[in-house]
Amino acid sequence: MKNILVLIDKGDVWQITGTTIQTDDYVVDPEMVREMPIDVEGREIFDYIKARLPAAALQFSKDLSGNLIKEDLIEIEYNRLELKRANMLHKARSYVSTRLNIVSVFDIFDFLLASNTLAAEGYFISSVNRREKYLDIIETGKIELIDALESYLNSMDKLTVIQGWHKQYRDFEKNIHNASTIENMDELYRVFVQIFE
């Protein structure tokens, strides 16, 4: 378990948009996070950041080396709308990230392997020709190709779900940036999470 700061690139500084605890089944993008030490000082700064985020934007220099301390933080008072916007985006990213564990690296590998196996035999499946290609593959009677098709279809089902979630998140992100009231943002988030229920 790791204490994690979730970050947004703001040019010369990182802006902290949230805090989270990373576990084995909750994966975060390593490019956009900073791991905090679990020692007493690290825990104190983590708790301080967590408490300050509702009231202020917290940033620190990208040139910072070593452990983050309070003196490294640049605090910018947020207007309530910008704060809500940043928090809603963080909540939505976290919400989606916890559901991404339905697709593993093995699923992606299976999809690529099956696609390559079928392509090597001349079967290029598209949304236009898929029924025809499925039948062509089954009619060959070749176990290797039929197994590859089954693997392709199983992994494609999982990837299609993730593709839909990605589109929903991007739409939510655009709508949050265009929202003009806190109430509107709350409603957008409520509708967004219903997609996953």
Structure tokens at 167: 């589109």
User: Domain segments of the chain: what residues?
Assistant: 1-78, 79-197
pLDDT tens profile 37-52: 555 677 888 888 888 8
Name the pairing type of β-strands 74-77 and 56-61.
antiparallel
- Identify the DSSP state of 79: P
The pTM of this model reads 0.54
pLDDT tens profile 11-31: 888 888 888 776 665 555 555
Ramachandran class of 45: left when φ > 0, alpha when ψ lies in -120 to 50, beta otherwise: alpha
What mean pLDDT value characterizes the chain?
A: 85
> What are the mean pLDDT values of the chain's consecutive 10-residue runs (197 residues total)?
79 84 60 58 84 82 84 81 86 84 84 94 92 94 94 91 89 93 93 87
Burial string for 83-99 (b: 16+ CB within 10 Å, else e) reads bbbbbbbbebbebbbee
